[in-house]
């Protein structure tokens, strides 16, 4: 996967340079519209081989909120401006830095908070061989995950029993059938907000 390594480093550097004006504007707007807190949301996530790393996102929630690791559309801890940048995935742009320094890849499973990796058993533990990604086949299928969870009586239970196992299945399939061209297709489909089966 040398080509994936080179692509991740080069594309993330170019992306950070080209998007620097947008990153600066979003940073300013966060300070204006969500004062009293940091610009970035930093959280420990599980990376390749189960190693923890710090993931960076634009902050989209209130400071010192009490909530679960599962985000649901419309919940009060998400600010109005935060909801907008989450809708268009702008809050995830700082993850380009994670890709540049090697913690993440453009394509791979979304990085989970500690605890979920402990649920992986048998063949499913193979998913830890992958670097977490900004996007991936499971991310495309569940790009409206917050809206799906908002319809559930118990969002946490639905995530743990339905969505999480399905994501693991999809990511194992991605690992076993990986190709660079499939990665490029996933990136393009992410930009176009299309499903992989379209």
Boundaries of every domain in the chain: 2-192
Please give the pLDDT value at position 65: 60
- Nearest 5°: the CA angle 7, 13, 18 is 120
Please give the pLDDT value at position 193: 84
Contact 54, 111 (CB under 8 A): no
Please give the pLDDT value at position 198: 47
Nearest Cα to 165, choosing from 198, 105, 122? 122
Please tell me the distance from the alpha carbon of residue 4 to that of residue 94, in angstroms, as a whole number. Answer: 20
Q: What are 16-74's pLDDT values in tens digits?
A: 999 999 999 999 999 999 998 999 999 999 999 999 999 999 999 988 765 566 777 66
Nearest Cα to 141, choosing from 192, 91, 196, 87? 196
Task: Report residues of the chain scoring pLDDT below 50.
Answer: 198
Please give the pLDDT value at position 22: 98
């Amino acid at each position: 996967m040398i080509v994936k390594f080179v692509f991740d480093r080069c594309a993330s550097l170019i992306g950070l340079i080209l998007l620097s004006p947008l990153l600066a504007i979003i940073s300013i707007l966060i300070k204006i519209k969500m004062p009293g807190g940091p610009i970035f949301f930093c959280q420990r996530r599980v990376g390749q081989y189960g190693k923890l790393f710090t993931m960076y996102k634009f902050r989209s929630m209130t400071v010192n909120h009490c909530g679960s690791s599962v985000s649901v559309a419309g919940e009060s801890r998400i600010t109005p401006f935060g909801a907008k940048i989450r809708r268009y995935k702008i809050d995830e742009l700082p993850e380009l830095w994670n890709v540049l320094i090697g913690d993440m890849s453009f394509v791979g499973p979304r990085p989970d908070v500690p605890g979920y990796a402990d649920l992986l058993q048998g063949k499913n533990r193979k998913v830890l061989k992958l670097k977490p990604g900004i996007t991936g086949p499971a991310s495309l299928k569940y790009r409206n995950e917050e809206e799906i969870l908002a319809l559930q009586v118990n969002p946490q239970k639905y995530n743990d029993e339905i969505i999480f196992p399905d994501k693991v299945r999809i990511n194992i399939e991605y690992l076993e059938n990986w190709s660079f061209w499939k990665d490029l297709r996933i990136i393009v489909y992410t930009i176009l907000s299309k499903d992989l089966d379209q």
